Amino acid sequence: MNDPRIVMTLDAGGTWLKYSAVRGGQLLVEPFSVPSESHDLERCLANIIAGFETVRAKLPEAPVSISFAFPGPTDYRNGIILDLPNLPGFRGGVPLRPLLEERFGIPVFMNNDGDLFAYGEAMEGFLPWVNGLLEAAGSRRRYRNLLGITIGTGMGGGLVSGGRLFLGDNSAGLEVGLLRNKVEPARRVEYSVSIAAVRRVYAREAGIAMEDTPEPSVIRQIALGTAPGDPAAARTAFHTMAEAAGDAIAQALTLIDGLVVIGGGVAGASDIFFPALLDAINGRYHTPEGEGPRLFSHASNFEDATERAAFLQDEPDTIPVPGSGKKVPYDPVKRVAVGVTRLGTSRAVAIGAYAFALAMMDQSNL
């Protein structure tokens, strides 16, 4: 966070290209957006280049790198964009990283937005915030693993462990949107966990056409009774999404065992769907021997003041060492926490892109 180098960043999507630049963990350029023009490759590439040129013109000194998020499936290591459903102009593969490196003369790094979101929250957001609260509460616990989940156009994910971003061998790690869907088992979970999914369920429950269905931010207001509409349908829409998302997160937590942070366009409705999300994560299995917990660790809603306070308190005990008169500290309760982005999704992606670029440059001695 004290590094003086400047990195230009971009969060690319099917509709908008969101730009900024970062130095020392701080945004140097007020984020701005330009249209993706995703249906036309030539126009999209021209907009990408023009956006970076606009950022560069605003900087106090030359940037050392470009680092940005691009949707998958993509060959992130080599910077080649593959066939993307949200950016049809890129069909057939486009070597975007080599193009930008030749144009700007600096190293270029690409990654998935879910990965960079998780990295930003691990560097400067949710993970250090939780650990800071634990330290202030006098707890011995500290967390090293963070699962980042984004819920927006689709469902994305990223994992940071011990300060390192998990990349996978094929640039295809933590694709949580491909997990099985508890609500509709024949489909991947992303079908039920997205902006479109919330709107689709609301339309069905309220008996209206999809084109007449508002965005999740308005559906949240309907659920709260502060906007006209069908409150029961609104709650069902979010709870259905939460059931599917919570089941997928529980699957991931069996492998990861760490904190979870939620971002993306739907995160603003966390006050509506978080209780149902945590109920799904903390669900129970039915076995021949009876019911059993879904996870060994209990997941706490970190957005709820009572649950947060309980999470921060250790349950200290001691256990005797056999054959001696000694006792050692022991806390029998395993805990994880689930919360909402501390940085905001776009800023977290920018911070993650910045940290990733510096790490890769230092690793490669660039």
Give the chain's domains with CATH numbers. 6-112+357-364 (3.30.420.40), 126-342 (3.30.420.40)
Could you tell me where the beta strands, DSSP code E, fall in the chain? Answer: 6-12, 16-23, 26-27, 32-35, 65-69, 74-75, 80-81, 94-95, 108-111, 145-151, 155-161, 164-165, 259-263, 284-287, 290-293, 298-301, 317-320, 327-330, 335-340
Other beta carbons within 10 angstroms of residue 188's beta carbon come to: 19
pLDDT band at residue 87 using 50, 70 and 90 as cut-offs:
confident
pLDDT of residue 89 exceeding 90, the answer is no
pLDDT band at residue 73 using 50, 70 and 90 as cut-offs:
confident
Classify each residue of 18-55 as buried b or exposed e, where b means 16 or more C-beta atoms within 10 Å of its C-beta. bbbbbbeeebbbebeeeebbbeebeebbebbeebbeeb
Distance from C-alpha of 237 to C-alpha of 214, rounded to nearest angstrom: 12
23-42 average pLDDT score = 91
- What confidence tens digit (pLDDT) does each residue in 271-288 have? 999 999 999 999 999 888
Distance from C-alpha of 64 to C-alpha of 81, rounded to nearest angstrom: 23
Percent of the chain with pLDDT over 90: 80
> In this predicted structure, what is the pLDDT of residue 188?
96
What tokens appear for 23 in the block? 């130095």
Q: DSSP letter at 176?
A: G
318-341 average pLDDT score = 92
List, in order, residues 6 or more apart from 150 with CB less than 8 Å away: 113, 114, 117, 156, 157, 262, 263, 264, 345
34-38 average pLDDT score = 89
Strands 155-161 and 164-165: antiparallel
> In this predicted structure, what is the pLDDT of residue 85?
72
- What confidence tens digit (pLDDT) does each residue in 285-304 have? 988 888 888 999 999 999 99
Distance from C-alpha of 348 to C-alpha of 341, rounded to nearest angstrom: 8
Contact call for residues 308 and 300 (beta carbons, < 8 A): yes
66-90 average pLDDT score = 85
Instruction: Identify the three-state secondary structure at position 267.
Output: helix
> In this predicted structure, what is the pLDDT of residue 117?
96
DSSP string, 5-43: -EEEEEEE-SSEEEEEEEETTEESS--EEEE--TT-HHH
308: phi then psi, degrees, rounded to nearest 5: -65, -45
pLDDT of residue 93 exceeding 90, the answer is no
Q: How many residues does the chain have?
A: 366
User: 143: closest CA among 128, 124, 125?
Assistant: 128
Lowest mean pLDDT among 34-43, 51-60, 214-223, 354-363: 34-43
pLDDT of residue 84 exceeding 80, the answer is no
Give, in order, the Cα–Cα distances in Å from 279 to each of 20, 243, 333: 37, 8, 18
pLDDT band at residue 189 using 50, 70 and 90 as cut-offs:
very high
> In this predicted structure, what is the pLDDT of residue 233?
98
Residue with tokens 């036309």: 40
* Average pLDDT, rounded, for the chain: 94
